[in-house]
């Protein structure tokens, strides 16, 4: 009789997808407001504080601003220039947004809900769209690479110098930083012994040692690479306004531009999620949320709150960094990726592998407690040594001194000879 109704797991999955996409879109809109506030506060201004409830004079600290911004950009003319490749031009924003939303299928946005017998949910319901996916990290990594296609397609299809250069730069940057990103990630996967983000969080919760403390070098490498992958300052070369107008989305306007901008914010949110889940303990906080099954709603909500607070903190850090550090030049960016982050990532990976391999021998030799301390102390020693070595050994960049023997303006003698 109820054959035509979707099964319970389907309904649950659809509800989760709805919650996640709705939540992410709202979050992206409000993060734009937060970003503008941060920018204003850092510059000693007050920031948007006028728009409140529409059609009233209630201001609400400017909380209506995202609605106004969204309406404005949606109602703007969606102009398609004559010289673009129409199919690719339209596909690019869709590709980038779809990819950055699909990533969240494998990212847990909380721990799990306690059993709800009334709805027929007998077990814990994990707050994750695709809970059965064993290769969550791979999924995230693969889809974040697809975002490069969106950027490259947008730049190429625009048929515009700035767009093309932005697309090229962007692809070079994103491809280069995927390697340190992957190396930072491998250390965590190795230590947790799983590609599931859930398991990685549980591993940190059960030992109480977040991977940021156990693998400081991996954390730094991953953090820097995540900044570059999200194209945030100091690595925002894909759309360096001063040089490239808007970069790969120079030719875009209206709702297509909005899709690009939302996708960019989602990249930042994804990066924050990954940093928190893999290195900052996810929903775990000492004394507040411990490991173990979720039996009550209090535990479930507390874990959700801790995770959200951590993610917000990381996002605020992203926004603060934007106004703190100057942008890297392109050659410096590449130097950092290939000559600093790649070796450091490898060093971290080898350290983690060695510790995991020799842990039983270590425990047998010095006992459980001392082995645990050593497993944290050794990576920190490696971290400082590696950092200083990288600082001392890597070239500090190109020689910026002008060539004095023959400058670009020194053509007078040539004119005389002619």
Positions that interact with another protein (CB under 8 A) = 38, 40-46, 49, 320-321, 323-325, 387-388, 391-392, 396, 400-407, 409-410, 412
Tokens of 226: 């995540």
Smallest gap, in angstroms, from Cβ of residue 338 to another protein?
16
By C-beta, is 57 or 82 nearer to another protein? 57
Task: Report the chain's C-alpha Rg in angstroms.
Answer: 25
Close Cβ partners of 260 (under 8 Å, ≥ 6 residues apart): 92, 93, 96, 97, 150, 154, 248, 249, 252
Give the residue from 175, 118, 199 showing the smallest Cα distance to 342: 175
In the three-class reduction of DSSP (H, G, I as helix; E, B as strand; rest coil), residue 61 is classed as helix
CB of 8 to another protein, least distance (A): 48
CB of 228 to another protein, least distance (A): 15
Within 10 A of 42 (CB to CB), how many other CB atoms are there? 14
Nearer to another protein, 135 or 388 (CB): 388
The single-letter DSSP state of residue 44 is T
Query: Would you state the torsion angle of the CA atoms of residues 58, 62, 63, 69, taken in this order, to the nearest 10 degrees?
Result: 110
From 108, 132, 296, 288, select the one nearest 200 (Cα to Cα). Answer: 108
- Minimum Å gap between C-beta 385 and another protein is 12
* Shortest CB 150 distance to another protein, Å: 30
Q: Which is nearer to another protein, 13 or 390 (CB)?
A: 390
CA distance readout (Å), 241 to 76, 166, 235, 238: 21, 10, 12, 9
Q: Which residue, 77 or 399, has its beta carbon nearer to another protein?
A: 399
CB of 146 vs another protein, minimal distance in Å: 31
- Which is closer to another protein, CB of 45 or CB of 161? 45
Cα separation, 295 vs 338, in Å, equals: 47
Nearest CB to another protein, comparing residues 296 and 401 = 401
Nearer to another protein, 37 or 273 (CB): 37
Residue 61 C-beta: closest distance to another protein, Å: 12
Do 278 and 212 touch, CB atoms closer than 8 A? no
The verdict on whether omega for the bond into residue 388 sits within 30 degrees of 0, i.e. cis, is no
Cβ-based neighbours of 60, under 8 Å, separated by 6 or more: 52, 53
């Amino acid at each position: 009789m109820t054959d035509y109704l979707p099964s319970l797991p389907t309904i649950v999955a659809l509800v989760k997808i709805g919650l996640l996409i709705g939540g992410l879109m709202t979050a992206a809109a409000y993060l734009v407001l937060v970003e503008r506030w941060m920018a204003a506060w850092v510059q000693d201004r007050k920031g948007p504080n006028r728009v409140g409830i529409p059609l009233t004079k209630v201001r609400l600290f400017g909380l209506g601003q995202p609605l106004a911004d969204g309406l404005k950009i949606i109602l703007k003319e969606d102009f398609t220039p004559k010289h673009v490749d129409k199919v690719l031009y339209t596909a690019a924003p869709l590709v980038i947004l779809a990819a950055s939303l699909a990533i969240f299928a494998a990212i847990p946005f909380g721990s799990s809900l306690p059993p709800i017998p009334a709805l027929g949910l007998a077990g814990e319901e994990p707050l994750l769209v695709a809970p059965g996916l064993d290769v969550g990290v791979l999924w995230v990594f693969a889809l974040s690479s697809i975002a490069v296609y969106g950027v490259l397609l947008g730049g190429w299809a625009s048929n515009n110098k700035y767009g093309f250069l932005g697309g090229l730069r962007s692809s070079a940057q994103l491809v280069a930083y995927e390697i340190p990103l992957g190396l930072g990630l491998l250390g965590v996967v190795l230590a947790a012994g799983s590609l599931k983000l859930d398991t990685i969080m549980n591993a940190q919760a059960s030992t109480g040692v977040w991977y940021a403390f156990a693998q400081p070098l991996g954390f730094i490498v991953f953090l820097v690479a995540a900044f570059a992958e999200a194209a945030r300052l100091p690595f925002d070369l894909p759309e360096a306004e001063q040089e490239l107008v808007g970069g790969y989305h120079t030719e875009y306007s209206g709702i297509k531009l909005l899709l690009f901008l939302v996708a960019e914010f989602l990249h930042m949110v994804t990066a924050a999620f990954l940093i928190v889940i893999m290195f900052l303990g996810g929903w775990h906080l000492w004394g507040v949320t411990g490991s173990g099954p979720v039996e009550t709603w209090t535990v479930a909500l507390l874990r959700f709150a801790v995770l959200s607070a951590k993610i917000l903190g990381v996002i605020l850090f992203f926004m603060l960094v934007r106004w703190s550090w100057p942008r890297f030049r392109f050659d410096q960016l590449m130097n950092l990726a290939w000559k600093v982050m790649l070796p450091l990532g490898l060093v971290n990976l080898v350290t983690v592998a060695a510790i995991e391999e020799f842990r039983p021998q270590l425990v047998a030799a010095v006992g459980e407690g001392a082995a645990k301390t050593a497993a944290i102390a050794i990576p920190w020693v490696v971290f400082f040594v590696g950092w200083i070595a990288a600082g001392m050994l890597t070239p500090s960049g190109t020689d910026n001194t002008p060539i004095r023997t023959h400058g670009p303006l020194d053509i007078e003698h040539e004119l005389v000879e002619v």
